[in-house]
Chains A and B, each alone.
Chain A
Amino acid sequence: MRLFFILLNRELKAFFYSPVAYVVMFCFLMLTGTNFYIAVSLLNRGPSDVTVVEAFFNSVPSWICILLVCPIISMRLFSEEFKLGTIEPLMTAPVHDWQVVLSKFFGALIFYVILWTPSAFYFPLFEWVTKAHAAWSPGAYLGSYTFILLIGMFYISIGCLASVFTSNQIIAAILALAATILLFLFGLVSFFVLNITAAFRDLIGYFSSIEHMAGFSRGVFDTRPIALYVSATALILAVTYQIFQSRKWRM
């Protein structure tokens, strides 16, 4: 465990030593700020049954941010090490493979959490300015950010998997992007395809990230999506670990 934390520390430093981190943070903040503006403007048009929190998190710009940022922050995790050859001193030090994989995953996840942290100021700011509530209950804030964490975990694990396949960061990013967008669209199938049975529609509903986000941003802690995302993340990380280990046999 000690080694895991040493590796994790190095991963976080690696993020912040690279200019990519600052560019991503800046652009992300611009996007979330714009998103907030758009959300409030839309609500200004007339009465609505969505709260500011839901309008902010379950909106097009927000989903675009999530879908784009996860592959971008995870593309370099393994690919860069393979390309530079620094995987060699890493793997010849007395560390376990699982420590390496998990430290990279959690490093990216912590960076992702740092990216979203400033958005938490928008709602108190809104409430201070308008003297109105941004959500019906405090559970909404907790729910929204929990879901942001869950979906981030899942998409970053996909990014890790894509990264471990190749030493080319662009390929890793494209693979991760394609996979996350396809998975996201899978949850929207019921909007595109009309002649499906009600049972199938329900089934898709369980996988629909947008529906999950809607629920969580109202403060509804449905354990089914939690189980889905945690287990899916674990599965993908397990596959990542296997592929990482198998690399040395394919050299």
Chain B
Amino acid sequence: MIKVENLSKRYAGITAINNISFQVDRGEIVGFLGPNGAGKSTTMRILSSFMPASSGRASIAGCDVFENSLEARSHLGYMPENVPLYTDMRVTEYLNYRAALKGVRGRRIRERVGDVKELCNLKDVENKVIGTLSKGYRQRVGLADALVHDPDLLILDEPTIGLDPNQIRQVRELIKNLGKRHTILLSTHILPEVEMTCSRVIIINKGRIEASDTPQNLLSQLRTAGGVRLEAKVGNDNGIEILSKITGVKDVSVEKEGDWNTFLLRVDANSDLREEIFRLSVERKWAVRELSRRKATLEDVFVEITHADA
């Protein structure tokens, strides 16, 4: 669906994207992750034909985004960051206009606009002027706009930015449902969302792709992640030294709160050392009030990958 080969984009003196290549196949929901300024929006703008690349090629459904721009755009529903909308138009009017602009004809316009309003829960604001809507509703109008011509591919730039938790959940559900019929490329900072909705994650940092894999694979490849939390009374023992001796423990840090010490152990990704820690505590006669495991999350992957260069 999307094929990007050796894409680069240089602004005055700054290389926003440096020779990136990736592919998104039909039916995938791919999350584009990266710190601010990594090049996510730039890549999406190039894919949507808003700006041309400095070098390299990109194509959507086989149409080159530069040579065959018009056809590429017709396969695509794009929602820009900060969802710019005409604030003087009403919701239905705006969606009718956008549907007509994207090639939906005649009676189909009313059908499609009705469908997307239903899908994005816009029925109660359909006659309101866009300028009077809250951010959540505007975001939904933007999403409805992207969907109105029933495109094969959706490119969503930060679709949940600025939304409250309820709205984020609704948009997330919507994206999951859309993923059954559309191919989706979305960029976000909200990592748990990526884990929940995306079949694949591309991590981009400083204009280069650092990782591209399923969330599960990325988690399992992580060198050190996850940890064990132990709250115990260790008396006079040097807890850190003793715990560090367990194989598989990478490092230990401690916080003292009166008699109780909270140890945070960083352990090998796939190992579960709780039993061993428990036995050690029993052996040393420590009183334990919490022993829990913190699973590795995508945030750990993200931080590790993007801070590796820093």
Contacts and interface: CB of A to CB of B under 8 A. Distances in A.
Interface of A: 3, 6-7, 10, 13-14, 17-18, 84-86, 88-89, 91-96, 248-249, 251
B97 A89 contact: no
Interface string B75-96: 0101010101111110000000
Secondary structure of the B contact surface, majority rule: loop
Contacts of B87: 84
Contacts of A92: 48-50, 73, 76, 78, 80
B74 interface: yes
Interface residues of B, number: 28
B101 A93 contact: yes
B49 A91 contact: yes
Of A85, A88, A93, which is in contact with the most chain B CB atoms at under 10 Å from its CB? A93
A6 B97 contact: yes
Nearest to B74: A94
A16 B187 CA distance: 37
B64 interface: no
Given A84-B84, A89-B145, A94-B70, A13 B52 contact: no
B51 interface: yes
A69 to B, nearest CB: 21
B165 interface: no
A95 B100 CA distance: 11
Nearest to B42: A251
A10 B90 CA distance: 12
A251 B49 CA distance: 13
28 contacts: A3-B101, A6-B97, A6-B100, A6-B101, A14-B86, A17-B89, A84-B84, A84-B87, A86-B85, A86-B86, A89-B84, A89-B85, A91-B49, A91-B50, A92-B49, A92-B50, A92-B76, A92-B78, A93-B98, A93-B102, A94-B70, A94-B73, A94-B74, A94-B101, A96-B70, A248-B50, A249-B51, A251-B51
Contacts of B88: 14, 17-18
A234 B264 CA distance: 73
Given A6-B101, A14-B88, 16 more contacts: A18-B88, A85-B84, A86-B86, A88-B50, A91-B50, A92-B49, A92-B73, A92-B76, A93-B101, A93-B102, A94-B70, A94-B71, A94-B102, A248-B51, A249-B51, A251-B11
